[in-house]
Amino acid sequence: MANTKISAAAFADTKPHYNILNGYRGVAAITVVCFHLFEAFATSHLDQKINHGYLAVDFFFLLSGFVIGYAYDDRWKTMTVKNFLKRRLIRLHPMVIMGALIGAILFYTQGCSVWDVSKVPLSMLLISTVFNLFLIPSTPGFEIRGVGEMYPLNGPSWTLFFEYIGNILYVFFIRKLPTIALSLLVVLTGLGLASFAIWGPLGDLCVGYALTEENIIGGSLRLLFSFSAGLLLSRVFKPFKVRGAFWIGSIVIVVLSFIPRIGGAEHLWMNGLYDSFCVLIVFPILICLGASGKTTDKTSTRICKFLGDISYPLYIVHYPFIYLYFAWVKNENLTFVESLPGAVALVLGSIFLAYICLKFYDKPVRKALTKYFKD
C-alpha cells in the first residue's frame, strides 16, 4: 500500500497533522480487506463483490504524493538525498519484512485446488521469502503460488514496489519540476491512465500486481498519475471551510468501493470511465476535503489517529490470511453466508494483529533504526 506517516513524526517537524487524511487512509485500508475477502467468491473482476476496492491503491498513491510534498518539499536546503531515502526505508520496510515472514509461515497452510502448495519445495519457499523481504519481484520461474503474482507470499507488496519507485522518482526528478511542468506531467499521465482504463484490455485499473505487459503499464500509470497529482496538490492546495469532512469523505470512499461492476463484459469502457472519474476527479477532491477539515474533539482525533496508525500495518499483514480464507472457502465449498464467522474473524483479527505489529514491532524498530542511523 502506498503509505506515509502524515506528520512525518519519526523525524519531528512542527507542521500540523492532517488528522482526517489519516482517518481516510484507515477507512480505505479496511475496504481493501473487505474487497479481498470476496476474491474467494469471484470468477473474475466482472463479478467481484465490493467491486472497486482496488481503487484504494490509487487513493494511497495520491495521498502519498501529497504528504511527501507537504512534509519534505521545503526541507531540501538541509536534507540530502541519502537522508530522504533512509527515512523512507525506515518508515516502510520493517512492515514489508513482517508481511513477508507472515506469508512464509502460513504458506503451507493455504493449499487448495487453485494452488497446490504441497508441491512447492522448502528451498523455493525460502528463495521466495528472500525475494519478498527485499521487494524483488518473482519472475515466472520463482512464482511459487502459480497465479502470476509479483509477491506470492504477500500479494499487496507490489504497491510498495511501486511506492519505492515513486520515492526514487520524486527525489531525483519530480520534486525538481516547476509547478507548470509538474501540472503538464499530471495531465499527460492522467490522459494515459484514462486511456488505459477506458480502452485498455481489462476495462479497469485492477493492475500492477504481476509481471505482465498490462500490469506493468497499468501499474506504472497508476503510480505516475496519482503520486504526481498528490505532489501537485501539496503545492497548490488552499484550505477551505468545511464541516463533517471525516464522515463525508469516509462515506464516499466506502460507497465508491462498493459500487458494482459497470457495463459488464460487453461494455468494458463504461467501468474504465468510472475508474477514471474516481481517480482523476473524486480522489483529488477528497484529499482537499480531508486536508481542509478539522477534528473538533478528542474522541474524533483519537479515532482518526488510530485508523491512520493501523492503516499501513493492516494493509501489509492481512493478505496472508486472505489466502488462508480463500483456501478454506474452496476446500469446504462454502458460500459467503456460511463463511461469514470466518470473514468477520479475519477482518477483526487483522485489525488486532496490525495494532500489535504497530505497537510491539513497527514503532520500536523504526525508533531504533532512526536512532542508529541518525542524520
**Residues 6+ positions from 130 with CB-CB distance below 8 Å:** 136
Question: Distance between CA 360 and CA 351 in Å, rounded?
Answer: 14
Report if residue 94 sits inside a domain.
Answer: yes
> Which residues constitute the domain of residue 41?
9-372
Instruction: Please tell me the predicted confidence (pLDDT) of residue 16.
Output: 74
What angle (nearest 5°) sits at the alpha carbon of residue 129, between those of residues 123 and 132? 145
Cα separation, 208 vs 216, in Å, equals 6
Residue 259 lies in a domain: yes
* Cα separation, 62 vs 25, whole angstroms: 11
For residue 161, pLDDT beyond 60: yes
pLDDT digits (tens, 9 = 90+) for 171-208: 999 999 999 999 999 999 999 999 999 999 999 999 99
Residue 4 falls inside a structural domain:
no
- The secondary structure of the chain in percent helix, strand, coil, rounded to multiples of 5, reads 70, 0, 25
- Can you give the pLDDT at residue 14? 54
Q: Amino acid letter at 128?
A: S
Residue 1 maps to a domain: no
- pTM of the full predicted structure? 0.95
* Residue whose C-alpha cell is 489517529: 305
14-44 pLDDT per residue, tens: 577 899 999 999 999 999 999 999 999 999 9
Number of domains in the chain: 1
Q: Is residue 2 part of a domain?
A: no
Q: What count of residues does the chain have?
A: 375
Residue 3 maps to a domain = no
Cα 157 to Cα 148: distance, rounded to the nearest angstrom: 14
Does the structure show a pLDDT above 50 at 8?
A: no
Taking each helix axis as running N to C, give the angle between helix 122-133 and helix 81-106, from 0 to 180 degrees, rounded to the nearest 10. Answer: 150
- Contact between 208 and 147 under an 8 Å Cβ cutoff? The reply is no
pLDDT at 208: 98
- Cα torsion angle, 146, 147, 153, 159, sign: positive
Residues 6+ apart with CB under 8 A from 123: none
Lookup: cell for 194: 484514462
Confidence of residue 297 (pLDDT cuts 50, 70, 90): confident
The C-alpha atoms of residue 130 and residue 97 are separated, in whole angstroms, by: 9
Grid cell listed for 267: 461494455
Assess if residue 28 is contained within a domain: yes
Task: Give the Å distances, CA to CA, from 315 to 92, 228, 279.
Answer: 12, 22, 20
- Given this model, what pLDDT does residue 375 score? 57
Q: Is residue 352 part of a domain?
A: yes
